[in-house]
């Protein structure tokens, strides 16, 4: 669909071909391309075609700006690098010279031509084709205005781990309201389970608890624990959120957190969450003494009263009558302008690697079990002991990379397990004096103070065996193996098979996306990788934002990372949100679809296609309408409308069809 105008060009197009130093000009004859455009595309409206060493430099931009002013250009096509790099640069240049920025088209002859081809003749011909596509396309561009939407000053933070707490506190401290929604009875996340944190070995509770308390009492934070987001409608600036506050069966206004109900509850339940299965809690419980908030919740699945209709011990003993068996789930609705997701990670299930014997061999522990064991307020009061609860191990094997860097499970590196294993080696040494063996594939300690920590552990006398452990077994074959766990490994540094007998094995299980990560992603309309980690807007330049405007990610939800990185991301996400709140309104790319009413037949085919429910059907007029604030511009409805009634700004049928024609014009 070339814009035919009876041979008389209506637009005045400027074409700019970049050398990019020699990045382009070494493989593409850029002078020839520019000359060709001046000669052969003149009838399409090209009035000037230049080549220049660095189009993106300020001199290059000035060249374009001057031409726009002096030659009264109405369209600009730049043949240079990928639009993902410099589209904005050239659009801004146009805007500076008074041309609507959306009347500029950038075609890539670097990433898509000079860098990937070697034959100069073919690369030059392809550059001409690509340029011709750009020229045909730009003829159909329309001047566009960025859309502006108001930003509601409140923010929703989902997940009360260290990343979410940090984000909530930063925003609240800046004076804006925050809703912090946590699924468990208390905030704190994984960090609340640890005893010491690498590399400084400071006590986890000592640094975390004050932050938890701050978040709990902050006048700007509405804390909702034992709660989950059920529904999200709307778009950046104006999200409507519905939270399900699960029934605690405890009236929080009356509860003083005395803990008597928990003490009196006769039902013991294995605590799989906080205690990693190593200890019991009650059916009415607070997960740990420093929990924030400090009200208990009732676990209805395990409550004797809900099972048999008899008991109510908690109610009987509660001194303030705070137990309420009639309490129901509550749906709470509110509005926010931005959302930060900080839902963290799950642990890899070490049972899946049956050759390591977890769940089968008694004295094989997971890293989380070991964390709890080290914790002074944990099930063993900080004593490192075997499953029998009394014997101290004399030799301990720590296996790195369990479920990580393994094609059968997770191919990625879980990033924290080397450091966490070194931390364990230190704790075992310090508290038991046992021999410690670390079995590693590679030691990865790239953080601040991390390699120093590694050296310290080496000096403490920990043994390091390089090799992926084949098996952990209790089948003794050699002397000294009786009643031991034997670690079978190929020591790749000495090129020998070794069998190392130990009393305790700790599996440094990897980090995995939350089991429900995909459902949660769907709820918020963001995407996750095949693994399930949430995808950032840009892996390097924007690891905080997502592709959905107004939704940010922080902490391990984006990928495995340590506490400092999680905190940094929490703070970074809040800074982004604060910037948005500060502006009061924000500009949005005008790449949107819209329905041409006169053409819409009311067939409703488009209605269900939109992933953001942006298409509304008016029963009275029998017409579909697109909410431009909800539309993200994917263009699926445009392609699907049988009546051709939907246009996609920036990617209209005319633009694409013209580009195809241009691309295929014989050159």
Partner 1 sequence: MTEKNDFEPTIVGFTCNWCSYRAADLAGIARIKYPPNVRLVRLMCSGRLDPTFVMKAFAEGADAVMITGCHPGECHYLEQNYKALRRYLLLRRTLVAMGIEAERLHLAWASAAEGIQLAREITEMVERVRTLGPLNWHLNGSQPEVTNEAAGKKLQEIELEVTS
Ligand X SMILES: Cc1cc2nc3c(=O)[nH]c(=O)nc-3n(C[C@H](O)[C@H](O)[C@H](O)COP(=O)(O)OP(=O)(O)OC[C@H]3O[C@@H](n4cnc5c(N)ncnc54)[C@H](O)[C@@H]3O)c2cc1C
| 184 touches ligand X (CB under 6 A) | yes
- Which lies closer to partner 1 via its Cβ, residue 3 or residue 264? 3
How far apart, in whole angstroms, are the C-alpha atoms of residue 123 and residue 107?
14
Interacting partner of 611 out of ligand SF4, partner 1, ligand X, none (Cβ under 5 to 8 A depending on kind): partner 1
Q: Compute the residue count for the chain.
A: 667
Q: Quick one: how far is CA 126 from the chain centroid?
A: 38
Instruction: Candidates 368, 472, 553, 572: give the one binding ligand X (CB under 6 A).
Output: 368
Interacting partner of 663 out of ligand SF4, ligand X, partner 1, none (Cβ under 5 to 8 A depending on kind): partner 1
Q: Which listed range, 48-56, 105-113, 362-370, 595-603, lies at the site for ligand SF4 (CB under 6 A)?
A: 595-603
Query: Do β-strands 75-80 and 104-108 pair in parallel, antiparallel, or remain unpaired?
Result: parallel
| 606 touches ligand SF4 (CB under 6 A) | yes
Tokens of 186: 């208390």
Tokens of 103: 């009347």
Give all strands of the β-sheet with 155-158 in edge-to-edge order.
Answer: 221-224, 178-181, 155-158, 338-341, 551-553
| 605 touches ligand SF4 (CB under 6 A) | yes
- Which lies closer to ligand X via its Cβ, residue 65 or residue 562? 562
Size of the site for ligand X (CB under 6 A): 37
Tokens of 609: 């296609």
460-487: string of b/e by CB count within 10 Å (b at 16+)? eebebbbbebeebbbeeeeeebeebbbb
Instruction: Candidates 197, 286, 338, 473: give the one binding ligand X (CB under 6 A).
Output: 197
Instruction: Candidates 59, 62, 71, 116: give the one binding partner 1 (CB under 8 A).
Output: 116
Handedness of CA 207, 213, 215, 218 (dihedral sign): negative
How far apart, in whole angstroms, are the C-alpha atoms of residue 605 and residue 95?
38
Instruction: Candidates 3, 117, 244, 312: give the one binding ligand SF4 (CB under 6 A).
Output: 312
* Binding positions for ligand X, 536-565, rule CB under 6 A: 555-556, 561-564
- Which lies closer to partner 1 via its Cβ, residue 461 or residue 539? 539
- Which lies closer to partner 1 via its Cβ, residue 21 or residue 150? 21
| 311 touches ligand SF4 (CB under 6 A) | yes
Instruction: Candidates 1, 144, 201, 304: give the one binding ligand SF4 (CB under 6 A).
Output: 304
CA angle 280, 286, 290 (to 5 degrees): 110
Instruction: Tell me the CA distances in angstroms from 231 to 140, 178, 273, 332, 333, one per residue in order.
Output: 40, 17, 25, 10, 9
Instruction: Candidates 26, 568, 609, 616: give the one binding partner 1 (CB under 8 A).
Output: 609
How far apart, in whole angstroms, are the C-alpha atoms of residue 487 and residue 205?
34
Binding mask 113-152 for ligand X (x = CB under 6 A): ----------------------------------------
293 upstream amide cis, omega within 30 of 0: yes
| 540 touches partner 1 (CB under 8 A) | no
* Binding positions for partner 1, 633-662, rule CB under 8 A: 633-636, 638-640, 648, 650-651, 653, 656-657, 659-661
Residue 659 burial (CB < 10 Å; 0-12/13-18/19+)? buried
Q: Side-chain half-sphere of 340: how many Cα atoms within 13 Å?
A: 39
Interacting partner of 198 out of partner 1, ligand SF4, ligand X, none (Cβ under 5 to 8 A depending on kind): ligand X
- Strand partners for 397: 437, 505
CA angle 626, 627, 631 (to 5 degrees): 85
| 286 touches ligand SF4 (CB under 6 A) | no
Instruction: Candidates 46, 156, 191, 215: give the one binding ligand X (CB under 6 A).
Output: 191
Structural contact between residues 299 and 261, judged by C-beta atoms closer than 8 angstroms? no
- Which lies closer to partner 1 via its Cβ, residue 115 or residue 325? 115
| 158 touches ligand X (CB under 6 A) | yes
Query: Do β-strands 280-282 and 202-203 pair in parallel, antiparallel, or remain unpaired?
Result: unpaired
Query: Minimal distance in Å, beta carbon 268 to ligand SF4?
Result: 10
- Which lies closer to partner 1 via its Cβ, residue 199 or residue 635? 635
* Binding positions for ligand SF4, 260-279, rule CB under 6 A: 265, 267
- Which lies closer to ligand SF4 via its Cβ, residue 128 or residue 267? 267
Binding mask 206-245 for ligand SF4 (x = CB under 6 A): ----------------------------------------
Tokens of 349: 């299930």
Interacting partner of 603 out of partner 1, ligand SF4, ligand X, none (Cβ under 5 to 8 A depending on kind): ligand SF4
- Strand partners for 49: 15
* Binding positions for ligand X, 217-276, rule CB under 6 A: 228
| 194 touches ligand X (CB under 6 A) | yes
* Binding positions for partner 1, 420-459, rule CB under 8 A: none
* Binding positions for ligand SF4, 624-653, rule CB under 6 A: 624, 641, 643, 645-646
Interacting partner of 194 out of ligand SF4, ligand X, partner 1, none (Cβ under 5 to 8 A depending on kind): ligand X
Extended strands (E) in 322-421: 330-336, 338-341, 345-347, 364-366, 395-402
| 600 touches ligand SF4 (CB under 6 A) | yes
Nearest to 211 by CA among 163, 260, 275, 277: 163
Binding mask 313-342 for ligand SF4 (x = CB under 6 A): xx----------------------------
Structural contact between residues 472 and 505, judged by C-beta atoms closer than 8 angstroms? yes
Those residues whose C-beta lies under 8 Å from the C-beta of residue 267, and which sit 6 or more positions away, are: 282, 283, 302, 303, 304, 311
How far apart, in whole angstroms, are the C-alpha atoms of residue 167 and residue 568?
9
Handedness of CA 228, 234, 237, 238 (dihedral sign): negative
Q: What does the binding site for ligand SF4 look like in residue numbers (CB under 6 A)?
A: 265, 267, 283-284, 298, 303-305, 311-314, 595, 600-606, 624, 641, 643, 645-646
Q: What does the binding site for ligand X look like in residue numbers (CB under 6 A)?
A: 158-164, 181-184, 189-191, 194, 197-198, 228, 342-345, 367-368, 371, 416, 420, 423, 514, 520, 555-556, 561-564, 566
């Amino acid at each position: 669909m070339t814009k035919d105008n009876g041979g008389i060009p209506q637009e005045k197009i400027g074409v700019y071909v970049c050398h990019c130093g020699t990045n382009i000009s070494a493989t593409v004859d850029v002078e020839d391309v520019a000359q060709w455009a001046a000669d052969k595309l003149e009838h399409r409206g090209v009035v000037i075609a230049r080549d220049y060493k660095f189009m993106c430099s300020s001199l290059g931009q000035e060249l374009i700006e001057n031409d726009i002013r002096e030659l009264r250009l109405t369209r600009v096509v730049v043949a240079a690098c990928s639009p993902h790099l410099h589209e904005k640069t050239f659009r801004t240049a146009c805007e500076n010279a008074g041309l609507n920025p959306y009347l500029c088209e950038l075609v890539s002859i670097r990433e898509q031509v000079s860098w990937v081809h070697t034959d100069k003749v073919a690369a030059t011909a392809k550059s001409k084709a690509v340029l011709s596509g750009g020229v045909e396309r730009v003829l159909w561009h329309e001047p566009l205005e960025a859309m502006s939407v108001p930003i509601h000053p409140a923010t929703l933070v989902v997940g009360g781990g260290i990343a979410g707490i940090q984000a909530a506190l930063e925003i609240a401290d800046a004076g804006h309201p925050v809703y912090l929604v946590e699924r468990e009875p208390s905030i704190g996340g994984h960090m609340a389970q640890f005893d010491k944190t690498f590399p400084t070995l400071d006590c986890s509770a000592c640094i975390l608890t004050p932050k938890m308390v701050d978040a709990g009492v902050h006048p700007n934070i509405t804390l909702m624990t034992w709660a989950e987001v059920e529904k999200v409608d709307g778009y950046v600036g104006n999200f409507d959120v519905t939270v399900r506050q699960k029934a605690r069966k405890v009236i929080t206004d009356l509860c003083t957190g005395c803990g008597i109900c928990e003490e009196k509850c006769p039902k013991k339940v294995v605590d799989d969450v906080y205690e990693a299965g190593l200890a019991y809690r009650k059916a009415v419980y607070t997960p740990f003494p420093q929990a924030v908030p400090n009200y208990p919740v009732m676990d209805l699945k395990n409550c004797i009263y809900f099972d048999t209709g008899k008991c109510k011990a908690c109610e009987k003993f509660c001194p303030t009558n705070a137990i309420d068996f009639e309490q129901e789930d509550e749906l709470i609705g509110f509005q926010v302008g931005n959302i930060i997701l900080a839902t963290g990670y799950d642990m890899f299930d070490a049972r899946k690697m049956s050759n390591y014997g977890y769940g089968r061999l008694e004295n094989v522990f997971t890293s989380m079990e070991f964390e709890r064991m080290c914790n002074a307020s944990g099930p063993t009061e900080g004593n490192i002991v075997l499953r029998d609860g009394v014997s101290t191990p004399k030799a301990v094997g720590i296996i790195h990379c369990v479920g990580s860097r393994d094609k059968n499970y997770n191919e990625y590196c879980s990033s924290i397990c080397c450091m966490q294993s070194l931390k364990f080696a230190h704790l075992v040494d310090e508290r038991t004096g046992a021999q410690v063996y670390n079995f590693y594939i590679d030691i990865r300690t790239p953080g601040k103070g991390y390699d120093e920590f590694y050296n310290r552990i080496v000096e403490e006398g920990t043994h390091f065996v390089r090799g992926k452990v084949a098996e952990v077994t209790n089948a003794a074959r050699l002397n000294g193996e009786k009643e031991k766990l034997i670690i079978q490994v190929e020591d790749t540094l000495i090129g020998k098979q070794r069998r190392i007998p130990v009393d305790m094995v700790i599996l440094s299980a990897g980090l995995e996306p939350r089991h429900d990560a995909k459902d949660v992603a769907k709820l918020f309309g963001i995407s996750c990788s095949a693994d399930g980690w949430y995808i950032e807007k840009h892996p390097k330049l924007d690891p905080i934002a997502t592709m959905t405007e107004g939704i940010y990610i922080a902490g391990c939800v984006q990928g495995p990372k340590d506490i400092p990185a999680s905190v940094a991301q929490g703070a970074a996400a809040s800074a982004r949100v604060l910037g948005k709140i500060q502006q009061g309104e924000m500009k949005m790319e005008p790449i949107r679809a819209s329905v041409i009413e006169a053409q819409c037949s009311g067939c409703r085919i488009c209605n269900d296609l939109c992933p953001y429910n942006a298409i509304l059907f008016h029963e009275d007029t029998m017409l579909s309408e697109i909410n431009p604030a909800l539309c993200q511009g994917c263009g699926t409805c445009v392609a699907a409308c049988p009546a051709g009634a939907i246009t996609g700004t920036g990617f209209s049928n005319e633009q694409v069809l013209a580009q195809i024609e241009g691309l295929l014009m014989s050159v």
